[in-house]
Amino acid sequence: MSGITLLTDGTRYSSLLKRKLKNDGDRIVLLSDAASGDSAVAVSDKPVKQDSRDHSIVWNKRSPLSARNALLSTLNSYNKVDNAILIYQPGDYNKTFHETSSAVYDLQIDRWIKGYGYLLKEIIQLYIKQQNGNLSFILDSDGMTVLTPLESAVYSYLKNLVQSLSVLYQNEPLRINCFESDTSRPDDFIDFFIKNSSDSKYSPGRIHRFADKKSLFDFGKN
């Protein structure tokens, strides 16, 4: 993996990936979601320290225009996007199902269903125009054996969405990979991720899994 990499910020893997990829010579564009509130993932709204090889874009996941502008901003700086890495990590929301408010449902749908849908659309469209590109999606359960019903629904939706896109676009000049992580060894996962995302053998629809132990997700894995 090398070149211009678009990376979503705000998870335990973001900083590790950023450091590793920069050491390998990548230029990094961080997409930082400054939204806050009763949500599945706590993200930083602090400015990201920049250097000559990366910059940060504040991204409003609720807006399709914001997703488009994020790609345009990257192209204005670097003229292309070689790699895009999107990460979903459930958070510490612990209210029971019947206590979950409609506002929380709306927020999660806006941020993860709509937000990543808007961004995926723009990335795929760009890659078809460029005639090349690598898209990787990381689903990180962060060692949680049981997710809340809402988080479980989002996790399953994103997994099936990316898997379907990988198959549907297999004849286009792009690669779409999906990774699942349930590990207490994040550095080992990063090595696993980089190795497999750069593998010349591409299998559309394949889910790359890295796990320390059996978990709730094992029964649903293909």
- In tens digits, what is the pLDDT along the chain, a chain of 222 residues? 679 999 998 888 998 999 999 888 889 999 988 664 333 333 333 444 445 456 889 989 989 999 999 999 999 999 999 999 999 988 766 678 888 889 888 888 998 999 999 999 999 999 999 999 999 999 998 777 778 888 889 999 999 999 999 999 999 999 999 999 888 888 999 999 998 888 778 889 999 998 765 544 443 333
- Tell me the HSE value of 68 on the side-chain side, using a 13 A CA sphere: 4
Q: Write down the domain spans for the chain.
A: 4-220
Q: For residues 23 and 17, what is the distance between their CA atoms, to the nearest angstrom? A: 10
What sign does the dihedral 123-191-9-81 (CA atoms) show? negative
Q: Nearest Cα to 141, choosing from 41, 219, 44?
A: 41
Q: Which amino acid is located at 210 in the chain? A: F
CATH-assigned architecture of domain 4-220: 3-Layer(aba) Sandwich (3.40)
What sign does the dihedral 141-184-187-94 (CA atoms) show? positive
Task: Tell me which residue has tokens 């990499």.
Answer: 5
Q: For residues 133 and 194, what is the distance between their CA atoms, to the nearest angstrom? A: 15
Q: How many secondary structure helices (H) and strands (E) does the chain include?
A: 6, 7
Residues 14/26, Cβ–Cβ less than 8 Å? no
φ, ψ at 99 (rounded to 5°):
-95, -10
